[in-house]
């Protein structure tokens, strides 16, 4: 079994290595930078992903800040790709992958 928090950390590492991208804490919506959860479990405490759940669609939200030199829509595609790869490695599928750009500097 894999802890949802482990997947979140893995995604954070991958996304942080993308050029011009920084993982941020959002101020107003979420308590964590990256949230991986079943849609029905969003807001609940991190827990183990069971084998029976691994084939169910998961909801992922990533909040990032980006460098002005990189166009926001292009960054979203890059981050989405990184998240998809992480989920695939963990044998998880996603119902939604939400990329939220909260800062451009």
33 contributes a contact to other proteins by CB under 8 A: yes
Of 1-9, 19-27, 37-45, 46-54, the segment contacting other proteins by CB under 8 A is: 19-27
Interface with other proteins (CB under 8 A), residue from 3, 25, 42, 85: 25
Which single residue is written with the structure tokens 């079994």? Answer: 1
Q: How many whole angstroms from its chain centre is CA 24?
A: 11
Interface with other proteins (CB under 8 A), residue from 1, 3, 19, 29: 29
Q: Copy the structure tokens of residue 30.
A: 């979420």
> Distance between CA 89 and CA 40 in Å, rounded?
23
> Distance between CA 92 and CA 23 in Å, rounded?
21
Under 8 Å between Cβ of 92 and 51: no
Residue number with CB closer to other proteins (4 or 63): 63
Interface with other proteins (CB under 8 A), residue from 11, 15, 23, 92: 23
Interface with other proteins (CB under 8 A), residue from 24, 38, 41, 56: 24
């Amino acid at each position: 079994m894999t802890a949802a928090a482990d997947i979140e950390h893995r995604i954070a590492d991958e996304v942080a290595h993308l050029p011009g991208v920084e993982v941020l804490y959002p101020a107003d919506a979420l308590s964590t930078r990256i949230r991986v959860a079943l849609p029905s479990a969003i807001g609940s405490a991190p827990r183990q992903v069971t084998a029976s759940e691994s084939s169910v669609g998961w909801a992922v939200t990533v909040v990032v800040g980006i460098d002005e030199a990189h166009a926001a829509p292009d960054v979203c595609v890059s981050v989405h790709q990184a998240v998809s790869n992480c989920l695939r490695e963990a044998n998880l599928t996603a119902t939604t992958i939400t990329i939220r750009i909260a800062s451009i500097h």
